[in-house]
Amino acid sequence: MPMKIAVFGTGVVGQVMAEKLSSLGHEVMIGTRDVKGALAKTAPDNFGRPGFADWYKAHTAIRLGTYAETAAFGSFLVNASSGNGSLALLEQAGEANLSGKVMLDIANPLDFSKGMPPSLFICNTDSLGEQIQRAHPSLKVVKSLNTMNAQIMVNPSLIPGDHNVFVCGNDADAKSRVKEVLKSFGWKEKSIIDLGDISTARGTEQLLPIWIRLWGALKNPMFNFHIATA
């Protein structure tokens, strides 16, 4: 069933998510801190994609708004922002606009302050997913899709064979809604692993250091994890 979906973040992950969700028939608004600033970005990004202004002109069905406007618009939310800005943007979005809604959280707590490879600014005894959930207890946070390249997130068939996506969250109904979105992207039921409550996001977020090193070793980001069991 088509939904009104709010996507926070205008970078490559936000753009890819917004494109896919719009192509599936959802009404999509993408949110940014500074609308005028976003529309002024004409230079290609680090991945060779068009600047946001050109991308937005090419995707006329997708709306653009502030974080607050976008949160108010969406009945289902997607956090595709950088991890170090996630808590601030959700504060700007406004508690009244978040309350009671499901949010698919893709962000990772990556710290690039010392260059590549990044470290994690939250790990071991906490996670970004948990911090978001604690800051917004009425928001139903579900961590997923944060362990792979953005293109694979929305099109798992890019990788041959079976591979997995993880789901973490406190609310069973919220996880079911996220799983339905995942399946609409092409993820098979058997490939979705529900790890448990939001504290299990510690594990998925801590996969990022090995993911980044695999990217460096393989010279290719188009890979994913496959969990094989006996």
- Total-model pTM: 0.96
What is the rounded CA–CA span in Å between residue 161 and residue 23? Answer: 25
Burial of 144 (0-12, 13-18, 19+ CB in 10 A): buried
**Phi and psi at residue 193, in whole multiples of 5°?**
-110, 115
What domains can you pick out in the chain, each with its CATH number? 4-218 (3.40.50.720)
Q: What percent of the chain has a predicted confidence (pLDDT) above 90?
A: 93
Tokens of residue 13, six digits = 């992950």
| Pairing state between β 192-196 and 165-169 | parallel
Instruction: Determine which helix (DSSP H) or strand (DSSP E) holds 64, and give its type and residue range.
Output: strand 63-66
* Percent of the chain surpassing pLDDT 70: 100
Q: Is 192 helix (H, G, I), strand (E, B) or coil?
A: strand
pLDDT category at 159 given cuts 50, 70, 90 is very high
- Sequence-ordered list of residues with C-beta below 8 angstroms from that of 12, at least 6 positions apart, any chain: 45, 47, 49, 150
Instruction: Give the pair of three-digit tokens for residue 39.
Output: 């529309």
Mean of the per-residue pLDDT values of the chain: 96
CB 29 within 8 A of CB 16: no
Mean pLDDT of 200-222: 97
In this structure, what are the phi and psi dihedrals at residue 167, rounded to the nearest 5 degrees?
-130, 130
Instruction: Please give the Cα distance from 131 to 182 (Å, whole number).
Output: 23
Each residue's pLDDT tens digit, 100-158: 999 999 999 999 988 889 999 999 999 999 999 999 999 999 999 999 999 999 999 99
